[in-house]
Amino acid sequence: MKRFIALMLALVMALSVVGCGGAASSAPASSEPASEPASEPASSEVAEEATPYIVIPEEYRSWDENGDPQQFSHAGEAGSAMVASSKYEASAIGLDILKNGGNAIDAAVAMGFALGVCEPFTSGLGGGGFMTIYLAETGETTFLNFREVAPSGATLDKYLDENGEFISGSSAYGGLAVGVPGEVAGLLHALETYGTMDREQVIRPAYNLADQGWTATTYYSTSVGWGYSSMVDEETNEITPMGEVFLNEEGLQPEVGSVVTNKDYAKALDLIIEQGRDGFYKGEVAQAIVDSVQAAGGVMTLEDLANYEPYETEPVTGDYKGYSIVSSSVPSSGGTCFIQIANMLENFEVYEKDSVEQIHLLSEIHKMVYADRAEYMADIKFTDVPLSGLTSQEYADKLAAKIDMTKAQTYEYDDPWAFEGDNTNGYVVVDEMGNMVAVTKTVNYYWGSGVLADGYGIVLNNQMDDFVYDAESVNVVEPGKTPLSSMTPTVVFKDGKPAMMLSAPGGYTIFSMLSQLFINVVDYGMNAEEAIAAARYLCAFGTLQYDAPNVDEAVFEELAAMGHDISATPGKRFSLPSLICFDAEGNITGCTEYEDEGLPLDGCALGY
């Protein structure tokens, strides 16, 4: 039977690259979020007729009455407080925490646990991340690192064949791909250090979401399809433990509008509520993670889990035209590269948006920033990183001087050491007191390593794929090391007052996209919604990619004539940001990304 189901599934997936139409037999009827548990808990992993813990209101639904994709407004306005995330349910939970007296950290932690439930393919208990925090009372900022580390047995040789060649896929799929997860320790550290609520208050909503269910949206259902190869064994056509949790009873991706649960994950959340970090890093959940990772060829041990520690460090900072940027330090490259881009841009006039000059300038800057990133950036506990050189204005001025505005060039990395001084799924939350939290967290690829902590419904990351498997690289894998990231949770100030908050998924494209959002607001006077909707450009590795539907094709012809290698990538947003902006009167506007590859996304900005 399972074999037949798997074959059916293969057929459906092959036919359905993006769409998941079909009638939504149980589209939620109410437009009010349910604040109390549904009276009839779902009785199976996929309960088509159940009521989800939170019903998505009509105006935030990415599907119509026929189950077909539809777009909605992802923008919001507020006077005092706001949350912006990629899922309505997570935003509603965060807003509820704020309205009930929690601060931005309480809300961010509650949203973090909730996102792991209803967007399990992007982040969750099996992953890790970063948090940039601003505390209004003291004016302090801090950067919390809860990214995965390499297990103690993860040596380079495990990823190389007998000829010393990298074994393709070994860092991306299966047990060796899994880094020691940091999310639980990180979120609990933030709560205990800066929050005001207890674990029951901030994690119970996520538990309820997992236990009673959430709604399969257009994007969610499609994403289950993207995880097909991890959900059905290609050789035997048997449904895998991951498929058992995320496919419906017919072995298919859940129908849009249906209610899905992850009761195994709810069990893990309950243990965390009860025991704190020990509920995850020790005992039955830890054992399940280690057993699942080792059965899939990995090397993680119980000791690796018990030893995991998140830590706080100084964020990296930079200035741009009177704005102060505070962002992620190493082991992320994101904040550093964001500031390097801004510093280089300060050397030039503000060219007309989407003009040949503006796109040329961005591409030349991207090429240099990505070259430096590859040469110098890695876990600072294992290698020296010239952080103050990379973020220094003088170094950026030197790089900017290499740019020829008439032609495209190629660039080697430069020497930031000479400029060293004495001294590195995103969502954003601001509360009434002015505390700000920007979080980016991830399991890396969609559906991570494809390995599930069996019995606990936890998708395990493949963050080991962010290492380089070359002994010459500063970012080479080493036991206990954290792989280089690009995640860029960022807060921005103007004259000491909050001006902007940005965060996004999108791997190595994150800081390039967020820095464009930043200049869209600062240089081009756009509001949050316009800044998100604007054209995007990326020139990370020599090819200028663009998603610019309203820009004249002649612009790109001219860029090609200047020597740019051009590739149109229509509908590819590269990165899917959440953005909050503050105006001088204290009004708050927010927005989340509208679409990815033509699919309507689920995010929203909610506030009061």
> Which of 177, 172, 130 has the alpha carbon at shortest distance from 510?
130
105 in contact with ligand GLY (CB under 6 A) = no
Size of residue set near ligand GLY by CB under 6 A: 7
| DSSP 8-state assignment for residue 131 | E
SS3 letters across 401-424: CCCCCCCCCCCCCCCHHHHCCCCC
Q: Which of 122, 132, 218, 424 is catalytic?
A: 424
Would you say 311 or 417 has its CB closer to ligand GLY?
311
For the segment 457-496, give every residue that binds ligand GLY (CB under 6 A): 466, 485-487
Q: Which two three-digit tokens encode residue 150?
A: 């390499």
Would you say 48 or 466 has its CB closer to ligand GLY?
466
Would you say 170 or 218 has its CB closer to ligand GLY?
170
Q: Closest-CB residue for ligand GLY?
A: 485
> Which of 419, 334, 343, 417 has the alpha carbon at shortest distance from 370?
334
CB of 466 to ligand GLY, least distance (A): 5
Q: Please give the full DSSP string across 535-595, using - where no structure is assigned.
A: -EEE-SSSEEEEE-TTS-HHHHHHHHHTT-EEEE-TT--SS--EEEEE-TT--EEEEE--E
Strand, coil or helix: 15: helix
Residues 532, 534, 540, CA angle at the centre, nearest 5°?
90
Burial class (CB in 10 A: 0-12, 13-18, 19+), 161: exposed
For the segment 340-399, give every residue that binds ligand GLY (CB under 6 A): none
CB of 475 to ligand GLY, least distance (A): 12
CB of 328 to ligand GLY, least distance (A): 10
For the segment 175-204, give every residue that binds ligand GLY (CB under 6 A): none
Query: Which residue from 392, 444, 503, 545 is in contact with ligand GLY, where contact means CB under 6 A?
Result: 444
CB of 463 to ligand GLY, least distance (A): 6
CB of 461 to ligand GLY, least distance (A): 8
Place of tokens 């876990």: 379
Q: Tell me, rounded to whole angstroms, the distance of Cα 181 from its chain centroid.
A: 15
Would you say 33 or 334 has its CB closer to ligand GLY?
334
The answer to whether residue 424 is catalytic is yes
CB of 486 to ligand GLY, least distance (A): 4
163, 472, 527, 534 from 587: Cα distances, Å: 61, 50, 12, 22
Query: Which residue from 240, 425, 442, 490 is in contact with ligand GLY, where contact means CB under 6 A?
Result: 442
Q: Are strands 565-568 and 543-547 parallel, antiparallel or unpaired?
A: parallel
424 in contact with ligand GLY (CB under 6 A) = no
Would you say 336 or 485 has its CB closer to ligand GLY?
485
446 in contact with ligand GLY (CB under 6 A) = no
Would you say 452 or 484 has its CB closer to ligand GLY?
484
Query: Which residue from 323, 507, 530, 608 is in contact with ligand GLY, where contact means CB under 6 A?
Result: 507
Strand, coil or helix: 502: strand
33, 62, 261, 600 from 255: Cα distances, Å: 21, 13, 13, 16
Per CB under 6 A, residues contacting ligand GLY are 442, 444, 466, 485-487, 507
Question: Which residues are catalytic, by number?
Answer: 424
